Structure 1
């Protein structure tokens, strides 16, 4: 599994795993220094921050001659949802019903339709047809935020309903998601990172790994595992195949991240400059 990443993605990872736990605001100089550990230069960081600001994920505030950045409300919601899914917070038992979202967005607003589809995939919806998306998970809050964000209230509707068709729930799953392909991706993650876990656990126990190296490896681990948010719909156990590797991958991720987290936090805190929370605009 390749370790490719861009500046914007790594900033998302650092905000989600670190900055939001330290007041949710950081000086741009500290952010630049943190990203230097991954080989990103100042120009790349400033360009990525500018794009993220324009996209509504973060916001800036000047204090004297310094610029500080924090998550917007939209950014906080996305980070909270990502954290919940990455760290597999307990979810209620499935009620056997489906959330069904339908849209009819006109061609002249095609860009909104494309954006909505991207959000639906990220949130865990699957396409039953071109304009009909389903999920077994209660994503009503996320649905309302999506509709409000893209101002498509008149084009979108959704239901919470029982499936009364002639096929099984598993047949619906097969129409919407390729779980075999996702399982193969999990197998690749387990194969690579189980080896890395053993190597780094041994090095850390012998104090042969620096705090900065642990920070980089921890962030890269989270970044790599975070990619599953875009392909794994986080289905309830009742809808998963018998030999599902998602749980094994999650256990490996948590164990690996646990041995890296303490020295990684030490490095982050050595670079981080505390700022006061920015008022939401």
Structure 2
């Protein structure tokens, strides 16, 4: 099979999902493509990106409308054209998740935990905050208590304020542990997060995208537009798994943890196709002022640094470390 045939297989797999969550896919597009280029884009440009994946114009309009209603996007009307950008609240909700997507490795863990006590919240607010914390990959330590090894109290306070829960939520930061991986702590981690399910999701991601990676070294016939579609699907599927991952330190993870290989595969594929995808994006995206500007400087720091010769060096990358 060729790389294009592998991409077609990925598209078919995406189209079979029910319900087809176009809203989530649009958030992926904003985080990966639109935000680094100023954050504002014409609705027609979004439709152009989603058409190759079989997402109808009607579904795009409906999904964008819902994202506006839910506070993710805001709209600006210029004549008969609609332009959309991420709200401040929406940006805060997904920015941390996208930061984890493009970071090669987690910082060394100092043994501290962020603990959040929800018992004093009203039931409706408690349920809302619990869902928001789960979205940030917090685990359930006990009834009404959630935990995370890398989130800090400083990061959490403004979010709690935004959710209207700051006054009735107790947030504690534990002191770093001298003995960071005792048997009891490992058992607690297994109870707080379903690592078996998370590992299965990483394994499924690897099974989906490894065939495309292999074909890029032998039969790479992807066009710039194809590379955009592959890039969107890659980041979308990886982001969905990563949202559930608290990025536990290595000493609390199984030795054969699939998340390491998934990160490497995502990095290698992204580096191999991003340059060609940007060629298409430069002509396909526009806002009220015209074509979108090029990516910000921060874009090129993704995955440890992007270079313009990524495509020509695909075989070299494979030799250095195939995933």
Q: TM-score range by the shorter chain?
A: 0.7 to 0.9
1:70-89 equivalences under 5 Å are 70-88=85-103
Asked if 2 retains the 8 angstrom alpha-carbon contact of 1:116 and 1:146, the reply is: no
Match of 1:21?
A: 36
Match of 1:218?
A: 231
Q: Give the CA deviation at 1:239.
A: 1.8
1:160-239 equivalences under 5 Å are 160-162=173-175, 168-204=184-220, 208-239=221-252
- Equivalents in 2 of 1:232, 1:210: separation in Å? 33
TM normalised by structure 2 equals 0.77
Secondary structure of the structure 1 residue equivalent to 2:232:
helix
Q: Give the CA deviation at 1:90.
A: 4.7
State which drifts further: 185-194 or 25-34: 185-194
1:7-46 equivalences under 5 Å are 7-46=22-61
CA RMSD of aligned residues (A): 2.4
CA distance 1:168–1:275, change in 2 (3 Å) = farther
Q: Give the CA deviation at 1:140.
A: 2.8
Match of 2:138?
A: 125
TM normalised by structure 1 equals 0.87
Q: Give the CA deviation at 1:192.
A: 2.8
What are structure 1's unaligned runs of at least 5 residues?
A: none
Match of 2:170?
A: 157
What are structure 2's unaligned runs of at least 5 residues?
A: 1-9, 293-323
Q: Per-residue CA shift, 1:9-39, capped at 9, x if unaligned?
A: 1111110110001111001121122221221
Match of 1:265?
A: 278
- Equivalents in 1 of 2:285, 2:120: separation in Å? 44
Q: Give the CA deviation at 1:272.
A: 0.3
In the alignment of these two chains, the number of paired residues is 272
Q: Give the CA deviation at 1:201.
A: 4.0
Secondary structure of the structure 2 residue equivalent to 1:221:
helix
